[in-house]
């Protein structure tokens, strides 16, 4: 597991690319004097939590890029570490303005003012969680711009058609296996065979896993008869075949474009077959109302190109 942060002797050392920082527990300890009887323990805990977040993100990025068979993006890890440390310092500063009346004493305790400071501190803590979540999402999008093998197939994927063909073959094979299993089950039910014998026969003749075979043979509370239903699989097969045909037609048409005069100027409407998207190319960046209308209809503005839902 990659480590970009290490806590030793109450000092946190962070090295990520060209970014380096050291944070001592005694330096942040005063920020927790009004919150706990043990500010030294709180400071060490905060440093340990920061180190864990940094190292987990770095490990996440390494795992993603190893799956993508690409060089580790040190700049991605560095950018996260730099920003996350800054957000953490802001959280500590906001937390340091809060007080606990167990520590300061209840007499004339500024309740309203402290509640406001606590809300600010909670918001800064939420910023940390949001930054980590967004950074992980961004890293995954960069490592797999067209999604992973276990995600829906995107039309803009250069190998989308090949992946759909593979998926069609898998679904068709699954349907054939279920049909063969149903024939075996019907025959063995007439012979009054046991469930164990049915499972063994289905596994031997169809190649279905034992647990999958058992699901079609053992009765569930909602079942009226044994066997596999192919309704959903056949519907999925038709959907995949229709999508493959639509992509094929789009590839055959190739790129097409036309220019339309609008209040925002001459706008080029382009059907980009290479990325399976409809693009609206503006002469300049559209104003806010125009972008809101586009976003409401599934388009997303980009400094280079405005990408829509696709076809």
151 in any annotated domain? no
Q: Where are the alpha helices (DSSP H) in the chain?
A: 25-28, 39-67, 74-96, 101-104, 111-143, 160-190, 195-206, 210-217, 231-253, 288-296
Pair (231, 265) in one structural domain: no
What is the mean predicted confidence (pLDDT) over 231-239?
Answer: 94
Instruction: Grade residue 128 by pLDDT with cuts at 50, 70 and 90.
Output: very high
Instruction: Grade residue 132 by pLDDT with cuts at 50, 70 and 90.
Output: very high
Give the distance from CA 260 to its chain's centroid.
37
Instruction: Grade residue 76 by pLDDT with cuts at 50, 70 and 90.
Output: very high
Q: pLDDT tens digit string along 158-168?
A: 788 888 999 99
pLDDT of residue 263: 65
102: its two tokens: 């167990």
Q: Three-class SS of residue 94?
A: helix
219 in any annotated domain? yes
Bridge pairing between strands 265-272 and 277-281: antiparallel
Pair (213, 261) in one structural domain: no
pLDDT of residue 218: 83
Pair (260, 238) in one structural domain: no
305 in any annotated domain? no
Pair (10, 120) in one structural domain: yes
Q: Please give the Cα distance from 102 to 37 (Å, whole number).
A: 9
The closest alpha carbon to 274, from 155, 172, 173, 185, belongs to 155
Range of weakest confidence among 17-21, 29-33, 104-108, 248-252: 104-108
Q: Please give the Cα distance from 189 to 191 (Å, whole number).
A: 5
The highest-confidence range among 50-59, 203-212, 268-277, by mean pLDDT, is: 50-59
Q: Which of 143, 169, 197 is the last residue of a domain?
A: 143
Q: Is the pLDDT of residue 74 over 60?
A: yes
What is the mean predicted confidence (pLDDT) over 270-298?
Answer: 78
301 in any annotated domain? no
Residue predicted with more confidence, 259 or 208: 208
CA distances from 223 to 16, 177, 193, 194, 226 (A): 57, 20, 19, 18, 7
90 in any annotated domain? yes
Pair (18, 81) in one structural domain: yes
Order of strands across the sheet that contains 5-8: 5-8, 11-16, 19-24
Query: pLDDT exceeding 70 applies to what percent of the chain?
Result: 91
Pair (136, 186) in one structural domain: no
Pair (35, 138) in one structural domain: yes
Number of compact structural domains in the chain: 3
Q: pLDDT tens digit string along 215-230?
A: 888 876 666 778 898 9
Pair (44, 82) in one structural domain: yes
303 in any annotated domain? no
User: What end-to-end distance do the CA atoms of the chain give, in Å?
Assistant: 42
Pair (45, 128) in one structural domain: yes
- Element of type H or E holding 1: none
Q: Is the pLDDT of residue 303 over 70?
A: no
Q: Three-class SS of residue 280?
A: strand
Q: Please give the Cα distance from 11 to 47 (Å, whole number).
A: 8
Pair (72, 90) in one structural domain: yes
Burial class (CB in 10 A: 0-12, 13-18, 19+), 142: middle
Pair (204, 217) in one structural domain: yes
Q: Please give the Cα distance from 123 to 115 (Å, whole number).
A: 12
Query: pLDDT exceeding 90 applies to what percent of the chain?
Result: 48
Cβ–Cβ < 8 Å for 43, 29 = yes
Q: Which residue has the tokens 């469930």?
A: 195
What is the mean predicted confidence (pLDDT) over 54-72?
Answer: 91
Give the structural domain span for 50.
5-143
DSSP string, 141-198: HHH-TT--TTSPPPTTSTTHHHHHHHHHHHHHHHHHHHHHHHHHHHHHHHTT--HHHH
53 dihedral zone (left: phi>0; alpha: psi -120 to 50; beta): alpha
Residue predicted with more confidence, 192 or 6: 6
311 in any annotated domain? no
Pair (239, 282) in one structural domain: no
What is the mean predicted confidence (pLDDT) over 21-36?
Answer: 93
pLDDT of residue 149: 73
The closest alpha carbon to 144, from 62, 74, 64, belongs to 64
116 in any annotated domain? yes
Q: Which residue has the tokens 């190739």?
A: 254
């Amino acid at each position: 597991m990659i480590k970009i942060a290490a806590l030793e002797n109450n000092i946190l050392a962070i090295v990520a690319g060209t970014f380096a920082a050291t944070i001592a527990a005694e330096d942040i300890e005063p920020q927790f004097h009004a919150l706990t009887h043990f500010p030294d323990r709180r400071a060490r805990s905060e440093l340990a939590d920061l180190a864990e977040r940094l190292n987990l993100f770095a490990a996440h990025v390494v795992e993603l890029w190893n799956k993508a068979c690409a060089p580790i993006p040190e700049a991605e890890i560095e950018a996260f570490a730099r920003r996350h440390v800054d957000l953490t310092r802001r959280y500590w500063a906001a937390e340091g303005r809060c007080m606990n009346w167990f520590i300061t004493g209840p007499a004339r305790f500024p309740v309203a003012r402290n509640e406001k400071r606590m809300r600010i501190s909670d918001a800064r803590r939420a910023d940390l969680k949001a930054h980590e979540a967004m950074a992980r999402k961004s890293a995954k999008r960069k490592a797999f711009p067209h999604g992973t093998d276990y995600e829906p197939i995107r039309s803009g994927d250069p190998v989308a058609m090949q992946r759909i063909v593979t998926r069609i073959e898998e679904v068709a094979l699954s349907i054939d296996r279920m049909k063969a299993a149903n024939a075996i089950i019907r025959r063995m039910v007439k012979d009054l065979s046991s469930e164990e014998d049915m499972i063994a026969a289905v596994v031997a003749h169809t190649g279905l896993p034992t647990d999958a075979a058992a699901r079609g043979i053992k009765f569930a509370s909602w079942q009226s008869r044994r066997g596999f239903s192919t309704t959903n699989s056949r519907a999925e097969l038709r959907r995949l075949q229709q999508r493959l045909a639509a992509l094929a037609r789009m590839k055959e048409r190739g790129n097409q474009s036309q220019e339309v005069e609008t209040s925002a100027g001459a706008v080029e409407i382009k059907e980009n077959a290479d990325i399976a998207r409809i693009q609206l190319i503006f002469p300049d960046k559209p104003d806010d109302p125009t972008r809101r209308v586009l976003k409401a209809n599934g388009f997303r503005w980009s400094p280079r190109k405005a990408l829509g839902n696709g076809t």
